[in-house]
Chains A and B, each alone.
Chain A
Amino acid sequence: MTTGQTPQHSTGRTPDRTEEATIVTDERLLDTFVELADTLTDDFDVIDFLHLLVERCVELLDVEAAGLLLADEHGHLRLMASSNEHVRVLELFQLQNDEGPCLEAFTTGARVSSADLGDAATRWPRFARAATVAGFAAVDALPMRLRSQVIGALNLFHAHAGALPATALRSAQALVDVATIGLLQERAIRHQEVITEQLQTALNSRVVIEQAKGLVAERLGVTTDVAFTTLRAYARGNNQKLGDLARLVIAGHASTRDLLDSGVARPKQAARQRRAPKPE
């Protein structure tokens, strides 16, 4: 269900990593930036890009799950990418339109953390309960900023209580900034109109993915999270953009018939092969 590594000790994340381990992480962080930058071609797929980013968050920051939310014009936080598409995890993101660290990070523009969700029952009664049930013990939310504007938030979930180490926080902030750059591609200072064009297009792209997930889930008789994994594995296996594949599936295009008919409901192998090896 999750791609995060199991912490080596039951005490959870180790704040005092060895210097060697930090260097390895730094190298992997650099690799990730190169990988993400490579993705930013002229017609890259924004959802694919953000998924890669949240997956790398899980690996590099040693967290259980990561999700990226963008605000729409109503100020609703909408999920763009999650390292874990399980319905219980997705509900945690949705719940944060009422309460939770992402909503706070979005409204205040500051990082919001809870090192122990057991202490957050008063602060976020519903969120803390749901997160605990889903198996999480600590949470961080980092705002996505563009100058003075907050456009969304990165949400990190941890299986064990404890604060995220300072180095990991710095890396997380760098990854959030990369996400912002990816979403709002042009570098020049731009007016609200250009930002809105790009954010709204990204939001609609995610809706297309959700529609395709539902369609594939029903055709293959699987859950929506399996449908998503299937779509993503198929897109990668066929060197296709996720958004393009979703549109082809919806249009009932012949080239996606093998996905729907033969039921490539065995995407795990492909997904695993693609995933970078875990650092030792």
Chain B
Amino acid sequence: MTSADGIGPGRRVRAWVAERAANTGRPVSMSVLCETAMLRLGISGVTLTIELPAGWPETRHATDGLGARLAELQLTVGEGPCLDVWPEGGPVLVPTLDEAAIQHRWPMFTPLAVEAGAGALFALPMAIGTIRVGVLALHRVRAGHLTAAGVAESLAFAELALQLQLDQQAGPRTTEAAGLQLHAPQVHQATGMISAQLNVSLKEAFSRLRARAFADQRPLAELAADVVARRLRFDTEGGAS
């Protein structure tokens, strides 16, 4: 998935977002991310919805009216790609909405979406296992596939959005350039262990783990390995940051 420029989609997407922020004189934010995704992926618009504790998604950013409309439609009729990313936490990518199989899959949503002017909708979960944070939705008025590189970059945009959102909820601090290191299994094992130690949700446990890694200036995966090996607990005095 590494392209001709020799860097992977994660670093490429980060560089694009940083560049866009610098060029427009703004800090890196969710709205900068959504704009960058729209400009770089050749799509019509980007919509970001955040999962609220009550279980309802809330639209936080929409680069255009159509995106906001699509989000609203799916909530109203209770079906659609952005809802189907759950419970599995995998993307739902629909290059052509106006198609029999898609009409059949979402009989209420599809005709309304097509009527509203959408040709394609790509829903990318911002998720870590069972931790649901939100959905990054890309839409295009024209139907058509994303390129293979575009698919990888879309996932990278969603992962960066996930990281930004978690940072925003955790309070001000620098976003790690290394990304979330979600490929390291001990990070998820440690999250489960901390959740049991503190009797908190996995989301809260993951947030504590990251906060501690940030405070100690240690890589997340390394700190997580200490938790899994039981060299570090979060429920003892001074254990939690």
Contact = CB atoms under 8 A, between A and B. Distances in A.
A210 B192 contact: yes
Given A211-B191, A212-B192, A217-B192, A94 B130 contact: no
A160 to B, nearest CB: 28
A280 interface: no
Given A73-B1, A197-B93, A215-B192, A210 B155 contact: no
Interface residues of B, number: 45
A75 interface: yes
Contacts of A233: none
20 contacts: A73-B151, A191-B145, A192-B148, A193-B151, A194-B93, A200-B91, A201-B89, A204-B88, A204-B90, A204-B125, A204-B127, A212-B192, A217-B192, A217-B193, A218-B192, A218-B193, A219-B196, A224-B189, A250-B192, A250-B202
A75 B1 contact: yes
Given A78-B183, A211-B129, A212-B192, A201 B228 contact: no
A210 B194 CA distance: 13
B67 interface: no
Interface string A158-170: 0000000000000
B182 A207 contact: yes
Contacts, number: 129
A80 to B, nearest CB: 10
A219 B195 CA distance: 10
B164 interface: no
Contacts of A212: 192
Q: Which of A200, A217, A219 has the most CB of B within 10 A?
A: A200
A96 to B, nearest CB: 12
A28 interface: no
A215 B195 contact: yes
A207 B129 contact: yes
Interface string A54-90: 0000000000000000011111111100000001001
Contacts of A77: 183
Nearest to A251: B130
A133 B12 CA distance: 38
Given A73-B152, A208-B129, A210-B129, A215 B196 contact: yes
A210 B151 contact: no
A268 B9 CA distance: 43
Nearest to A195: B151
Contact of A247 (B87, B90, B152, B196): B87
B1 A217 contact: no
Interface of A: 71-79, 87, 90, 94, 97, 191-194, 196-198, 200-202, 204-208, 210-219, 224, 247, 250-251
A198 B163 CA distance: 23
Given A207-B129, A207-B188, A213-B192, A74 B89 contact: no
A197 B228 CA distance: 30
B139 to A, nearest CB: 14
B185 A74 contact: no
Given A73-B152, A215-B192, A218-B192, A197 B146 contact: no
B29 interface: no
B146 A193 contact: yes
B183 A214 contact: no
B130 A208 contact: yes
B92 interface: yes
A196 B152 CA distance: 8
